[in-house]
Amino acid sequence: MKELEERDLRKLRELSNKCSANKKVQEYVRDVCFRIKELLIHYARDTKQDAKKVLEKYLGHTAAPASFSTGQIPAKYITKAIDAGNIRERITLIMNFCMSGCAVILWALEKNKYFTQASIDVLHKRLYNLTGISDIAKINKYMKRCERKGCILPCKFVSLASDGAVSASRLSAYPLNNALREPRVKKIDRYYVKVKDVYPKLSKYELEYIKVNCKYEIKNNNNKLQWISGLQYWEVNENNFYIKLMRHYKQMVVCGPSGNTDLNLSIFRLFDNFDINLAIFACISQMCNTPDHSPCEILLAALPYGLDELDDWAIDQDSFKYIYKKLKMYR
């Protein structure tokens, strides 16, 4: 893998900071969090569960793998973070829901409300293609039965799967054994995230989580966080189609097309406030700071969600210039 220079890391973080500081991006992410919270409250009432426990189950840090430590907070602060947290905390709550919310989404589909009709139709079609079953109630029973039997199904992601080939390609591309990325044999020390590079600054909730759950106390701005960035953890396969394509057009390569962008956008698009540009800015805010991805890798993953319909970005265009130009429209 070609190593990223310090100036490239600064370039990524500067763009991330611009997206994080944008008021419309902040408001958009907060609004999506409100909608997910209301969805979970309705789900708790309908299934006769305690709403607080449901919020903690689907939005709390235990909903995500332990390696997803960026922006996590103690579960008791979920509502406070939704109401007044920073953008990183809120996007992390959304990502936690991405990792755990399949059962809730299937429930909402069975109720035939809470989401836009367009997203309901897309999910119905996708579930039919996966299971061969057209009735959502039967699909719900089928999924629960499979989970009890321990069958290996993409249950957590069945309702969040990609509309296109980009997300699948992050794991394999043509030929199918040509992996996009593999874990590094040895993590590169200089790719750890330092406190001084985090934007927005760590909140008191994040600091408490780091101290209690990571058993790590921050003493100064040069301390390295326990966050494992994509750049630090993954090594890309230079022979992979997407990596070759990005290199050819001189796009910045961090980890290849972004699967987490795919997950986030699948959630953002469920609701009637979906804005493809604001959704992309939100992903850049989160994933270019650590960094986990480059803007090009996020844009590639956004194509199936409507970016292709805008017809104003292609792989041969500078992704940084494109995002900065778009940001000016959202002042």
Q: pLDDT digit of tens for each residue in the chain (331 aa)?
A: 567 899 999 999 999 999 999 999 999 999 999 999 999 999 999 999 999 999 999 999 999 888 889 999 999 999 999 999 999 999 999 999 988 888 899 899 999 999 999 999 888 887 787 778 888 888 888 777 766 655 544 444 443 444 544 544 444 444 545 678 888 888 888 888 999 999 999 999 999 999 998 888 888 999 999 898 999 999 999 998 899 999 999 999 999 999 889 889 989 999 999 999 999 999 999 999 999 999 999 999 999 888 878 788 999 999 999 999 999 999 8
- Distance CA(179)–CA(209), nearest Å, equals 34
| Neighbour-count burial of 73, counting CB atoms closer than 10 A to its CB (0-12 exposed, 13-18 middle, 19+ buried) | buried
Quick check: 269 and 160 in contact, CB under 8 A? no
Tokens representing residue 80 in the block: 């406070």
For residue 224, the SS3 value is strand
Which of these, 275, 265, 272, 277, lies nearest to 38 by C-alpha position? 272
Distance of CA 64 to the CA centre of its chain: 11
Determine which helix (DSSP H) or strand (DSSP E) holds 236, and give its type and residue range.
strand 234-236
Report the pLDDT value the prediction gives residue 129, as an integer from 0 to 100. 75
Domain ranges of the chain: 6-23+163-199+227-330, 32-149
- Tokens 């493809």 appear where? 276
Which residues is 183 bridged to in the sheet?
234
Report the pLDDT value the prediction gives residue 155, as an integer from 0 to 100. 40
Reported pTM? 0.92
Distance of CA 88 to the CA centre of its chain: 11
- Distance CA(217)–CA(248), nearest Å, equals 43
- Distance CA(52)–CA(210), nearest Å, equals 22
| Residues in contact with 238: Cβ distance below 8 Å, sequence separation at least 6, in sequence order | 1, 244, 247
Report the pLDDT value the prediction gives residue 173, as an integer from 0 to 100. 44
Residue 9: C-alpha distances to residues 22, 177, 209, 272 (Å): 20, 30, 26, 35
Residue 10: C-alpha distances to residues 13, 192, 229 (Å): 5, 14, 15
| Residues in contact with 81: Cβ distance below 8 Å, sequence separation at least 6, in sequence order | 73, 89, 90, 93, 205
Tokens representing residue 71 in the block: 């922006």
Which of these, 105, 73, 119, 92, lies nearest to 272 by C-alpha position? 119
Report the pLDDT value the prediction gives residue 62, as an integer from 0 to 100. 95
